Amino acid sequence: MTDKTPEIDPTTKQLLLAAQNEGLGSAYERVMLQDLLPRLLQKTKAKTILEFPAKITKGWDNHVLLKDYLVTVADYDFSLRNSWPFAKKPRFIAVSKKTGTFDLVWNFALFHQHQRMFKAMDIMTNRYVLLFTPNFFNWGAPLHWAFHLVTGTGCSHPEHGPINLMYVDGLANFVRRRGYRVLETGYFDLPPWPDFAFSKVELGKHFPFSLLWSEQKVEQSKKEEFDYKSMYETIEKSATWERKGVPRWVQSILAHHQFVLAEKM
């Protein structure tokens, strides 16, 4: 690791150690979300927060919020509570009709496939909603759909869903029509690689030769202790576009996700 690598704060270190088996793309996304969430919440008066549900994030991305906010994670079978990797914990609940309200309710990359989820979010929030969805126009999308075309498989990835909810203006219009005022829209998760969406395992099922290199890497990684500092250095080097900023039209192509923060009228 070079001397120019920024010092890693304890929260980021814990997050990287917890997510060490998820791969670079997931780790990058988590670190960027760790930076974005507190910044967005500073624009609100929220104190109580619910992630509903936390199927994709495992609730881990709330870790950075625990110091300043009362965080609740929707965890229907308490599997997330039982596998929580950090010392400080949020409140875990199985959501029901008796669930109370929260200042802000947010969802990561599930809402667009289950639009009726928004009705529940609307009931449970007393002020704000924050929605993240995959960016349909990411430059990896053509390769993603080519994969399904060539393999003849249907899409069950998060990138599958109504296009109008997978770009910023469409997502913003959705919440406006439901009585919300949009506070901020934007893009995040802008690494220098496209969002293919399919995994190496899926690729290997249809093109076995593609696993030869990845299997060697897996065997090698098993013999090595996880180097979170090296991972962080790679993430920081990959975050040039995200840190320094690029024109919004460029973001709309590079970004893996977009978001809308909105307030009830």
Residue 144, domain member (yes or no): yes
Average of pLDDT values for 34-41? 97
| One-letter amino acid for residue 56 of the chain | I
Range scoring the smallest mean pLDDT among 107-111, 145-149, 201-205: 201-205
Residue 122, domain member (yes or no): yes
Show the tokens assigned to 169.
């203006």
Number of domains in the chain: 1
Residue 1, domain member (yes or no): no
The per-residue pLDDT for 193 is 86
Helix (H, G, I), strand (E, B) or coil at 56: coil
Instruction: Say if residue 50's pLDDT is above 80.
Output: yes
Alpha-carbon distances of 211 from 10, 193, 197, 263, rounded to whole Å: 35, 19, 17, 47
Question: Distance between CA 90 and CA 66 in Å, rounded?
Answer: 7
Range of the domain at 63: 10-264
Instruction: Say if residue 28's pLDDT is above 90.
Output: yes
Residue 230, domain member (yes or no): yes
What count of Cα atoms within 13 Å lies in the side-chain half-sphere of residue 247?
2
| One-letter amino acid for residue 255 of the chain | A
Residue 40, domain member (yes or no): yes
The per-residue pLDDT for 7 is 83
Question: Distance between CA 130 and CA 264 in Å, rounded?
Answer: 12
Please write the tens of the pLDDT for every residue from 94-118.
988 788 899 999 999 999 989 999 9
Instruction: Say if residue 148's pLDDT is above 80.
Output: no
The per-residue pLDDT for 108 is 96
Question: Distance between CA 172 and CA 180 in Å, rounded?
Answer: 9
Range scoring the smallest mean pLDDT among 47-51, 65-69, 224-228: 224-228
More confident residue, 168 or 6: 168
CA quadruple 135, 137, 142, 147: dihedral, nearest 10: 20
What is the rounded radius of gyration, in angstroms, for the C-alpha atoms of the chain?
A: 19
Question: Distance between CA 98 and CA 96 in Å, rounded?
Answer: 5
The per-residue pLDDT for 215 is 46
What count of Cα atoms within 13 Å lies in the side-chain half-sphere of residue 145?
9
Show the tokens assigned to 90.
């949020």
The per-residue pLDDT for 182 is 98
Q: E strands of the chain, at which residues?
A: 48-51, 70-74, 91-93, 102-108, 125-134, 180-188, 257-264
Residue 256, domain member (yes or no): yes
Please write the tens of the pLDDT for every residue from 180-199.
999 999 999 999 988 655 44
The per-residue pLDDT for 217 is 46
Question: Looking at residue 179, what DSSP letter applies?
Answer: T
- Residue 172 sits in a domain of what CATH number? 3.40.50.150
Range scoring the smallest mean pLDDT among 14-23, 153-162, 179-188: 153-162
Residue 188 CA to its chain's centroid (Å): 9
Average pLDDT in the chain: 85
Residue 5, domain member (yes or no): no
pTM here is 0.84
Q: What are phi and psi of 221, to 5 degrees?
A: -65, -30
Residue 137: burial class (beta carbons within 10 Å; 0-12, 13-18, 19+): middle
The per-residue pLDDT for 14 is 96
The per-residue pLDDT for 76 is 87
Question: Distance between CA 241 and CA 228 in Å, rounded?
Answer: 22
| pLDDT band of 214, cuts 50, 70, 90 | very low
Show the tokens assigned to 34.
């760790």
Residue with tokens 């690791």: 1
Residue 203, domain member (yes or no): yes
Instruction: Say if residue 22's pLDDT is above 80.
Output: yes
The per-residue pLDDT for 212 is 43
| pLDDT band of 218, cuts 50, 70, 90 | very low
Q: Using alpha carbons, select from 188, 114, 195 the residue that is nearest to residue 159.
A: 195
The per-residue pLDDT for 98 is 80
The per-residue pLDDT for 69 is 98
